[in-house]
Structure 1
Amino acid sequence: MSHLVSPRKRMAKVVVAALSLAMVISLLSWGFAGRNNLLPVSVVHAEDVPYQFKAIVLNPGSNESELRFTWYSTPDPAGSIVQIAKKSEMSGGNFPADTAMTFTGEALNADAATTAAGWASNKVTATGLQPSTAYVYRVGDGTTWSQAYDFSTQRSDEYTLLFVGDPQIGASKNAEADTAGWNDTLTKAFTAFPNTSFIMSAGDQVETATKETEYDFFLSPDALRNLPVASVVGNHDNNINYQYHFNQPNESKQYGVTKAGGDYFYTYGDTLLMVLNSNNMNAAEHVEFMKETEKNNPKRWKFVTFHHSIYSAGPHSVETGLKNFRAGLVPTFDELDIDMIFMGHDHSYVKTYVMYNDLPQYKQLLDMKGNVVNPTGAMYITANSASGSKYYALQQTPEVYSAERSQLKVPTFSTINVTANSVSVDTYRTDTMEKVDSYSMVKEPEKVKVHAQKEKQTDPSNIEFYYAIGHANQVNALDATFQFDSKKLKFKQAELVSENEGVIEHKVIENDGGDNEVTVSGDTVRIAAGMTAPVMSEEFKDVVKLTFELVGGKADGETTAELKLLQSTLAVSVTHKETISTIEADTATVTVGKEKNIYDLNGDGKVTVADLSIALDFYRSKQGDANWEAAKKADFNGDGVVDLADITTLLLQVLAQK
């Protein structure tokens, strides 16, 4: 990293000397990944003290069009400014200042009583960023600037996040070795997944919350100048230094607050991400934060991240405090329909079963690709260390909630892949880049259709239609409305298909053409049913049979009976949430009666000499005659005249009758 300088007058000479000495020590640590780029610092006179900077961090903004920046500079900078331009506007390595967007923020001098004393924390928010765009940026005070760095925005409708746990630089007592492991993880992850949108950390960035040199090491990988990191306050981070380094969006000043900050949230595409500061274990505060946030930011996907795992397999898993914390949070995760919860702290890997009401939901529907279909609860994942600085042994007795638990003693990371209707999480070990675990889910409304098993039938008294459900995971209640032509059909009954035991009732609503509750032509029948054996099927499964009969009891030849599905709402066992169904086929038809026999001229259902007698009355009638409209039914060959050929044809039909 290069540090461009501009002479500035500072404090008194004695203070300057002490400040400069602290800067030299800190910058030497910061230079772990590239100390050869540091300019020498010489301090004798106040006017010789340069503007210096370090620890540039990118954080997600409130949404995908924003990005937040934090960096350290010498105290009282003239400005806190970020300039951003499209990378395509770079020319010959020169930053395109004339076309760059300029964003101004604020600087806060670190408290003199902290280990960050002698630095100012600069924070700036950039807005109006476009998706799938390569940018360059620089930070500075308006006169002196850093070198140019780059980052790329990604799509927000389909995207990949990188989830890491507990880098905890310094935990092994060898910060440089921990940093090497951390840098190796990021390098391999971004090489394999270059279109990652941002990093999601489960906390414990450092071992000692007040140790700035450990933050320098944590922030040293070049990847962190190119990609935002959504950090979580770990128990080893819980100090004001954490606030100096990170610039969180929508941070609460009321909920989850410790000296490191409070709960915060951001959105990315159709995803709401809520981050809890679990160092504050007042679950009621986090509950209020989540309820308010979810209410004001409705999104399809909902993720929560915090540090202290409530479903882990290491030594922390048996702590009473974390069990109580779990009891305080889980009901709200269930109530808000949170999809996934990501945690750290126990330095081992756990993927739970789908959980609801603190109970494993073992029975889940899988589709042909192995995705869990509309899971009846949330999935919890606890990350192992991303640097290898510390590992915990697993408890000897496996937990009832753990579907997968491991201690590989190798750094790991996970990718979170989000689309419009699916989320998948893949976990990799960094030594071989082998995928060691995965989970995938699809979430979309159940599919329903109406159809006829027999498209033709002769019996006009039992015309059968079926209501079928697909993509269903434990559906146990339904409410559906159907429309039919009451001038043609009369509703007889609705019944559950035999294997779907339960209760079913119906209500026929007649449409009198006036101001009633029906706004469609024809009559409707509303069906409500509850199944004691929930429906679990990816393919369509017949659930209700509806039976009608023809008005008048018989068909004059063939007639078409039609049933239309107007609406369908389903509810599922366990969560008891109701969803409006996706109607795949809304209309079914049945052809009823026998095809009319053209030789049965009198319509008595038989072909006899009585029909022959009628044909003879029309003998020699031809098209254009006054009686042709009646006579043409005896023109069997369609040549426009009733002749001997037609009479002979009919005679043969009479003889053919049994």
Structure 2
Amino acid sequence: MNMNSKKSFSVLLCCILAASAFTGVTAADNDGWTQADQTEAAQNGAWDAWVQEWDTEKTDWENISLTPGKDETELNFAWYSKADAGVPQFKFYEKEAGETADSLISVAQTAAVPDYNSNKVTVTGLESGKTYCYSYTKDGAWTEVREITPKDSSSGYSFMFFGDPQIGSSDENIPEGGTEEQGQDNAVRNDSFNWNNTINSALELKPDIAFMVSAGDQIQSRDSHTADETHETYTDNEIEYAGYLSPKALETMPVATTIGNHDALSSNYTYHFNNPNSSELGSTYAGGDYYFTYGNTLFIMLNTNNTNAAEHKQLIEQACEENTDAKWRIVTLHQDIYGSGEHSNEPEIVELRYSLTPILEENDIDVVLTGHDHTYSRSYIMKNAEISKYDWDMNSISDDEYEAFADGVIEDENGDEIEFVPTEEQQAKYDNYLAMIEDKDYVNSADSEIVENPDGILYLTANSASGSKYYDLVEHPQAYIAARWQEDVPTFSTIDVTDDELTINTYRTDTMEQIDKTFTIRKTDEPVTEYTVTNASFKNGAGETLDAIPESGSFIAELSVKKTGEGNGNDYIAVAAYDESGALVGLNYCYADVPADTDCTFGIKLDVPENGTIASVKAYVWDDFGTMTPLAFDAEL
């Protein structure tokens, strides 16, 4: 065992400091919405032009939506038509070949909201690189011809990920003395302008995007009293769907939408979108789970407003069994089961987490995309999180109790809001609940820019894509959070996928700067070197085991390390000491060629600092400096 050079020690120090610090991005503690006419995008007459267009846009319920097909050779369309207009026509053809008698495609029509029908078409046999044309009749006249060129995914592809456009949610736009309808009109106009800007900004930045994925809540309005008799006829959100579908780019860009809690209570969603492999499993009035493939990836879209985990399990297993050759498996659901916004600690969201994560892990899901909290966050790789029924029953709190702490108010006996001042017992119960759901012991990666062959799942939560509403980040970043952000600006992510890598970049729309570092999951066919600490103890110079760290002098951290995989022969074993504030106060290490599948014991000496005490000690073991991963040895003394 040889001590390394001062140069190696300085590199090690930087690595340990990086691993021990919270490196996630934090941001402002404010809350609100983005006022469209005050944005940079609204300048030079853009907002005034939009206001002029809006009276026409808001009454056009017949905008078309495109959705990915079952695979990249198919494409789905859906749109409204007036009930008295009969069945519209739809034509689709390859541009180079031109329009022929076979260009007309059969349209499937069903009744939608009063005075409207829903029309759906699926086209098949698409080839990448070829340009196709489509048009349909609207009020008896053919629309302008749109062109679509499917992307080649053989060497990789890119898609855009966004969350919660929730068009119409900026209802603070209600003018003083105005009606509710005027407020909704202004809010939808505002949010739709910002939504258009987000879509256009993403495509300007990355014009090769193949399709988009939404984490749900396309619109705002929902009828909380919806019943079997009314869910098919609810129309208060149709102006919002008109705004959501208003971007010109969406006439040629497929979007795989997820059903959010604001979408779930009416059938309008099913009328506006034509989802592939649509299932009754996980159903609400808006529809159920569905899935599709694109290139080397299986996408599974869950309607988790239906909390029946057994149904979601059935759909996930079916999709995976039918697509065993998929290199990547991505699940999208609305609720942020590993987020960091105001909703993320809610008992009903946490219960959903623990019911779904075992199913996701059993089916080797790589990434879970979520929304709901209108804040951005990225988790560490997570694995095996669970809470026993006993612990949950003993330490969980009710939704009402959580809301009292989250909102800081409760209702008195007269129904008036008053400040909530918790008792010591209530505060202790709340603190115990938050500690229980931290999932600190189930973090299975360091905060690296590249994670290689991870054992577990990445959870990514999208901020609002339209700025219609923002929530605050929770005050305390959960242990599972690697990065988070909220500065009340719309954001979107681009995700690049190849056979070997999945890379995520996330941008704010006002400056187009990244809000988080580039993050990559890398899969290799080479064996990965992994380490475990099988035993750890503290001893004095005479080899006697210590019950506590001495207040002065030195001690030896003795740990047994087991390596799986061959590695490169340069195995680094380090021990770092921290004071109560988390500052690094001691560090030493050694390196050796640890034999595979053999317990090797190392004794590493640490000096107690003269000014201060050691509160905790951590062991770090890795194969060369490139793959440092802190292990489970984290003794709090």
AA in 2 matched with 1:301: W
AA in 1 matched with 2:363: L
Task: Measure how far apart 1:428 and its partner are.
Answer: 0.3
Corresponding residue for residue 289 of structure 1: 315
TM-score, normalising length: structure 2: 0.61
**Is residue 2:519 matched to residue 1:439?**
yes
**Is residue 2:501 matched to residue 1:406?**
no
Over 3 Å counting, the alpha-carbon distance change for 1:498 and 1:214 in structure 2 is closer
Corresponding residue for residue 279 of structure 1: 305
Corresponding residue for residue 127 of structure 1: 124
Give SS of 2:370's match: strand
Separation in structure 1 between the aligned mates of residue 102 and residue 253 of structure 2, nearest angstrom? 19
Over 3 Å counting, the alpha-carbon distance change for 1:445 and 1:539 in structure 2 is farther
AA in 1 matched with 2:136: V
TM-score, normalising length: structure 1: 0.59
Over 3 Å counting, the alpha-carbon distance change for 1:135 and 1:235 in structure 2 is same
Which residue among 242, 247, 253 is the counterpart of 1:227?
A: 253
Separation in structure 1 between the aligned mates of residue 356 and residue 451 of structure 2, nearest angstrom? 24
**Is residue 2:168 matched to residue 1:170?**
yes
Over 3 Å counting, the alpha-carbon distance change for 1:135 and 1:470 in structure 2 is farther
Corresponding residue for residue 340 of structure 2: 313
**Is residue 2:158 matched to residue 1:160?**
yes
Task: Measure how far apart 1:502 and its partner are.
Answer: 3.6
Which residue among 69, 72, 92 is the counterpart of 1:84?
A: 92
Give SS of 1:272's match: strand
Corresponding residue for residue 181 of structure 1: 194
- Cα deviation digits, residues 71-120 of structure 1 (max 9, x gap): 1111165435432223445xxxxxx432763321311122xxxxx31111
Over 3 Å counting, the alpha-carbon distance change for 1:37 and 1:215 in structure 2 is closer
Corresponding residue for residue 385 of structure 1: 464
Over 3 Å counting, the alpha-carbon distance change for 1:384 and 1:448 in structure 2 is closer
Corresponding residue for residue 423 of structure 2: none
Over 3 Å counting, the alpha-carbon distance change for 1:163 and 1:364 in structure 2 is same
Query: 1:250-269 counterparts in 2 under 5 A?
Result: 250-253=277-280, 255-269=281-295
Larger radius of gyration: 1
Give yes or no for contact 1:371–1:441 (8 Å, CA) kept in 2: yes
Corresponding residue for residue 200 of structure 1: 213
AA in 1 matched with 2:379: T
Task: Measure how far apart 1:140 and its partner are.
Answer: 2.8
Separation in structure 2 between the aligned mates of residue 537 and residue 377 of structure 1, nearest angstrom? 23
Once the two structures are overlaid, the 10-residue window that deviates more, 60-69 or 431-440, is 431-440
Over 3 Å counting, the alpha-carbon distance change for 1:350 and 1:312 in structure 2 is same
Give yes or no for contact 1:364–1:373 (8 Å, CA) kept in 2: no
AA in 1 matched with 2:480: Y
- Cα deviation digits, residues 322-356 of structure 1 (max 9, x gap): 11110111011111111100000001011000111
Corresponding residue for residue 74 of structure 1: 82
Task: Measure how far apart 1:269 and its partner are.
Answer: 1.1
Give SS of 1:424's match: strand
Separation in structure 2 between the aligned mates of residue 250 and residue 345 of structure 1, nearest angstrom? 24
Task: Measure how far apart 1:365 and its partner are.
Answer: 7.9
Over 3 Å counting, the alpha-carbon distance change for 1:106 and 1:432 in structure 2 is same
Over 3 Å counting, the alpha-carbon distance change for 1:538 and 1:304 in structure 2 is farther
Separation in structure 1 between the aligned mates of residue 319 and residue 51 of structure 2, nearest angstrom? 39
Task: Measure how far apart 1:282 and its partner are.
Answer: 1.3
Separation in structure 2 between the aligned mates of residue 75 and residue 416 of structure 1, nearest angstrom? 40
Separation in structure 1 between the aligned mates of residue 454 and residue 514 of structure 2, nearest angstrom? 23
Separation in structure 2 between the aligned mates of residue 99 and residue 538 of structure 1, nearest angstrom? 65
Separation in structure 2 between the aligned mates of residue 258 and residue 130 of structure 1, nearest angstrom? 35
Corresponding residue for residue 103 of structure 1: 105
Corresponding residue for residue 66 of structure 2: 58
Separation in structure 2 between the aligned mates of residue 418 and residue 164 of structure 1, nearest angstrom? 16
Separation in structure 2 between the aligned mates of residue 418 and residue 85 of structure 1, nearest angstrom? 29
- Cα deviation digits, residues 159-180 of structure 1 (max 9, x gap): 1000010001110021111111
Query: 1:486-525 counterparts in 2 under 5 A?
Result: 499-500=594-595, 502-503=597-598
Task: Measure how far apart 1:132 and its partner are.
Answer: 2.2
Separation in structure 2 between the aligned mates of residue 448 and residue 331 of structure 1, nearest angstrom? 24
Which residue among 495, 501, 504 is the counterpart of 1:422?
A: 501
Give SS of 1:103's match: coil
AA in 2 matched with 1:166: D
Task: Measure how far apart 1:389 and its partner are.
Answer: 0.5
Give yes or no for contact 1:232–1:275 (8 Å, CA) kept in 2: yes
AA in 2 matched with 1:280: N
Corresponding residue for residue 352 of structure 1: 379
Once the two structures are overlaid, the 10-residue window that deviates more, 306-315 or 409-418, is 306-315
Separation in structure 2 between the aligned mates of residue 36 and residue 348 of structure 1, nearest angstrom? 28
Give yes or no for contact 1:352–1:380 (8 Å, CA) kept in 2: yes
Give SS of 2:365's match: coil
AA in 2 matched with 1:243: T
Over 3 Å counting, the alpha-carbon distance change for 1:422 and 1:366 in structure 2 is farther
Report the aligned-residue RMSD.
3.4
Separation in structure 2 between the aligned mates of residue 37 and residue 84 of structure 1, nearest angstrom? 30
Over 3 Å counting, the alpha-carbon distance change for 1:125 and 1:470 in structure 2 is farther
Give SS of 1:181's match: helix
Corresponding residue for residue 647 of structure 1: none
Separation in structure 2 between the aligned mates of residue 503 and residue 55 of structure 1, nearest angstrom? 65
Give SS of 1:150's match: strand
Separation in structure 1 between the aligned mates of residue 196 and residue 302 of structure 2, nearest angstrom? 26
Separation in structure 2 between the aligned mates of residue 232 and residue 282 of structure 1, nearest angstrom? 17
Whichever structure has more strand as a proportion of its residues is 1
Task: Measure how far apart 1:186 and its partner are.
Answer: 0.4
Over 3 Å counting, the alpha-carbon distance change for 1:539 and 1:216 in structure 2 is closer
- Cα deviation digits, residues 450-476 of structure 1 (max 9, x gap): xxxxxxxxxxxxxxxxx984599x9xx
Corresponding residue for residue 394 of structure 1: 473
Separation in structure 1 between the aligned mates of residue 51 and residue 147 of structure 2, nearest angstrom? 18
Over 3 Å counting, the alpha-carbon distance change for 1:34 and 1:88 in structure 2 is farther
Which residue among 89, 112, 117 is the counterpart of 2:114?
A: 117
Separation in structure 2 between the aligned mates of residue 37 and residue 429 of structure 1, nearest angstrom? 29
How many residue pairs are counted as aligned between the two chains?
421
Corresponding residue for residue 179 of structure 2: none
Task: Measure how far apart 1:384 and its partner are.
Answer: 0.3
Over 3 Å counting, the alpha-carbon distance change for 1:280 and 1:37 in structure 2 is closer
Give SS of 2:249's match: helix
Question: Structure 2: any 5+ residue segments left out of the alignment?
Answer: 1-48, 172-186, 223-235, 386-438, 530-563, 572-591, 600-619, 633-637
AA in 2 matched with 1:444: T
Identity of aligned residues (%): 39
AA in 2 matched with 1:103: I
AA in 2 matched with 1:208: S
Over 3 Å counting, the alpha-carbon distance change for 1:36 and 1:338 in structure 2 is closer
Task: Measure how far apart 1:36 and its partner are.
Answer: 9.6
Structure with greater contact order relative to length (CA < 8 Å, sep ≥ 6): 2
Task: Measure how far apart 1:441 and its partner are.
Answer: 1.1
Give SS of 2:200's match: helix
